[in-house]
C-alpha cells in the first residue's frame, strides 16, 4: 500500500489517467466510480477498475457492477453527474 493507502496498481492507474489528460475528482465517502467521455459516454458503478481482483477464486473477489450509458440523453446525465461531483468537491471532500 502507498502512503495514501492505495494499492500500487491503483496509484499507477491514476497516474496514467492524469497523464492522458483525464480530469480526476476523488471524493471521500463515495464508493461509486464515474467515467465521463465528452458528452457521449458515461460509465457508473461500484467496480474498482484500477485495483479489483478479477479472479473469482481470490479471497478478496467481490461481485461489483458498473454500467455504461450512451444515447441522446446521456449528455444531460453527464452534466448532472459533473455538477454533483463539483458540489462534493466544494464541500471539501476532495483529496
- Residue 59 is predicted with a pLDDT of 92
pLDDT above 90 (res 6): no
Closest listed residue to residue 64, CA positions, set 43, 38, 37, 94: 43
Could you give the CA distance from residue 95 to residue 89 in angstroms, rounded to a whole number? 9
> Residue 14 domain-assigned?
no
Say if CB 8 and CB 2 are below 8 A apart.
yes
pLDDT above 50 (res 94): no
Over the stretch 23-71, which tens digit does the pLDDT of each residue have? Answer: 887 776 777 888 899 999 999 998 887 778 889 999 988 888 899 999 9
Strand partners, 33: 45
More confident residue, 84 or 5: 84
Tell me the residue range of the domain where 86 lies.
25-93
> Residue 54 domain-assigned?
yes
Over the stretch 38-51, which tens digit does the pLDDT of each residue have? Answer: 999 999 998 887 77
> Residue 2 domain-assigned?
no
- Structurally, how many domains does the chain consist of? 1
Amino acid at each position: 500500500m502507498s502512503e495514501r493507502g492505495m494499492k500500487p496498481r491503483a496509484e499507477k492507474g491514476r497516474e496514467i489517467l492524469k497523464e492522458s489528460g483525464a480530469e480526476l475528482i476523488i471524493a471521500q465517502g463515495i464508493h461509486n466510480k464515474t467515467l465521463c467521455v465528452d458528452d457521449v459516454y458515461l460509465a457508473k458503478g461500484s467496480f474498482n477498475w484500477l485495483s479489483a481482483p478479477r479472479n473469482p477464486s481470490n479471497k478478496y473477489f467481490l461481485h461489483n457492477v458498473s454500467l455504461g450509458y450512451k444515447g441522446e440523453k446521456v449528455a444531460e446525465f453527464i452534466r448532472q453527474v459533473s455538477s454533483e461531483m463539483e458540489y462534493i468537491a466544494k464541500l471539501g471532500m476532495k483529496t
